[in-house]
């Protein structure tokens, strides 16, 4: 699709430009490759994002870690990108005087009513140390989550061809920059290993608003950034993670994030009072791990509302079930596969379709991990590097 990559790159460039230290739709590349199963499978480098308790629950004696990564994802369950591409082809022909193509462009744009596109972007950094009993880590991340829908849809050909304020893709976004310090400790409980981790964190929040006619959406999004962000302030909260061994090779984990929930009230770019709620979330995980194989399954225990103020995006809520695995080939290469499914109520049938993931990890004297995720017309990827020793 000729416009697909341009729209994806423009949307991601736009949200990334609004927060240089931005961070993701996924925790990081290793977990993404395993279907985003992470609560009981995280390694020393990924534990600060997945479950702070996993910092001190590691089967190998890797004491030090460093991770740097970035990723992007375009959620297009409604096929809005394809529709925009078809509209642009018909609209260009209509501008040349082809009335048949004008009628086709009108039909296409009217079919977009209610469709949603949701580009996301992320970047992550962590470094930590894990000893026999205690472990700690410093982590930074910034998530940029956005969603867009077409507004002011034309009702006739004349409006389509002459009204510059018709058929507008409006994107709303939230940028969060987070700095956290994780601390974890091991205990023995009923002769079983128990790890407890806590992560106090500082979060800064911005609201993003972008607006562009769909006839020209593949160009110029960078110009929309001027005056399109609102600083919403900051708050502090913390995450809590637990991991307990069931057998020598299996463990169960639980992580709760934003245990101090926060609500931010502000006036959005349309001069309408709005509220963002950063609520507590909880995820349960089960894992089997040995030297060669890691298998994991996670379940969100609570439904999460989308971090958007517009009523157009209320159907973007999530509650995921995830499953995945990793095959370790002599510590040189890891092969990962996984899947996740959105179980939330009130979402579209397309959003309920299973997402499939795959990833590879390499050791070249340093770690290199890459992962991709796909669901119908939705596509994303994550790349990270670092050290563990």
Per-residue pLDDT tens over the stretch 221-274: 444 444 477 889 999 999 999 999 999 999 999 999 999 999 988 887 777 788
Tokens of 289: 């791990």
Residue 248 CB neighbours (<10 A): 10
* C-alpha distance from residue 236 to each of 11, 55, 136, 164, 201 (Å): 29, 22, 19, 43, 6
Q: Specify whether the CB–CB gap between 386 and 366 falls below 8 A.
A: yes
pTM for the model stands at: 0.84
Q: What CATH number should be reported for the domain holding residue 300?
A: 2.40.160
Q: Across-strand partners of 323?
A: 297, 339
CA 375 – CA 40 distance, rounded (Å): 25
Nearest to 166 by CA among 112, 115, 119, 221: 112
Q: Specify whether the CB–CB gap between 373 and 356 falls below 8 A.
A: yes
Per the structure, how many domains does the chain have?
1
Mean pLDDT of 138-144: 91
pLDDT value at residue 76: 83
Quote the distance between the C-alpha of residue 222 and its chain's center: 21
CA 183 – CA 55 distance, rounded (Å): 8
Helix (H) or strand (E) holding 298: strand 293-300
Q: What is the CA radius of gyration of the chain?
A: 22
Which structural domain, as residue segments, surrounds residue 205?
4-388
Query: Per residue in 334-347, pLDDT tens?
Result: 999 999 999 998 88
pLDDT value at residue 157: 94
Residue 61 CB neighbours (<10 A): 9
* C-alpha distance from residue 34 to each of 59, 298, 325, 358 (Å): 19, 11, 5, 7
């Amino acid at each position: 699709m000729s416009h697909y990559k341009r729209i994806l790159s423009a949307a991601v460039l736009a949200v990334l430009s609004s927060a240089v230290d931005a961070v993701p739709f996924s925790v990081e590349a290793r977990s993404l490759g395993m279907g985003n199963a992470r609560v009981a499978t995280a390694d020393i480098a990924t534990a600060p994002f997945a479950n702070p308790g996993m910092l001190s629950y590691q089967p190998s004696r890797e004491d030090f870690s460093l991770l740097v990564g970035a990723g992007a994802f375009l959620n297009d369950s409604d096929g809005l990108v394809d529709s925009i591409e078809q509209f642009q082809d018909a609209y260009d022909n209509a501008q040349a005087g082809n009335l048949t193509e004008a009628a086709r462009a009108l039909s296409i744009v009217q079919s977009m009513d209610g469709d949603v596109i949701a580009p996301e972007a992320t970047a992550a950094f962590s470094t930590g140390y894990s000893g026999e009993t205690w472990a700690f880590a410093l982590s930074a991340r910034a998530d940029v989550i956005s969603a867009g829908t077409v507004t002011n849809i034309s009702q006739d050909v004349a409006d389509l061809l002459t009204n510059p304020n018709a058929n507008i893709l409006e994107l709303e976004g939230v940028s969060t920059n987070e700095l956290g310090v994780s601390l974890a400790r091991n205990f023995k409980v009923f002769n079983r290993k128990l790890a407890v981790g806590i992560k106090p964190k500082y979060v800064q929040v911005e609201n993003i608003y972008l607006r562009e006619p769909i006839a020209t959406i593949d160009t110029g999004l960078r110009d929309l950034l001027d005056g399109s962000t609102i600083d919403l302030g900051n708050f502090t909260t913390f995450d809590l993670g637990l991991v307990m061994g069931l057998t020598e090779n299996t463990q169960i984990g639980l992580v709760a994030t934003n245990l101090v929930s926060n609500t931010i009230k502000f006036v959005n770019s349309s001069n309408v009072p709005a509220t963002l709620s950063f609520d507590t979330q909880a995820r349960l995980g089960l894992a089997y791990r040995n030297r060669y194989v890691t298998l994991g399954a996670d379940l969100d225990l609570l439904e999460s509302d989308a971090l958007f103020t517009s009523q157009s995006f209320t159907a973007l809520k999530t509650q995921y079930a995830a499953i995945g695995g990793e095959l370790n080939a002599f510590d040189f290469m890891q092969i990962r596969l996984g899947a996740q499914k959105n179980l939330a109520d009130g979402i579209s049938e397309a959003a309920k379709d299973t997402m499939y993931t795959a990833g590879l990890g390499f050791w070249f004297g340093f770690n290199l991990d890459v992962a991709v995720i796909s669901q119908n017309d939705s596509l994303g990827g994550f790349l990270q590097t670092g050290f563990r020793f």
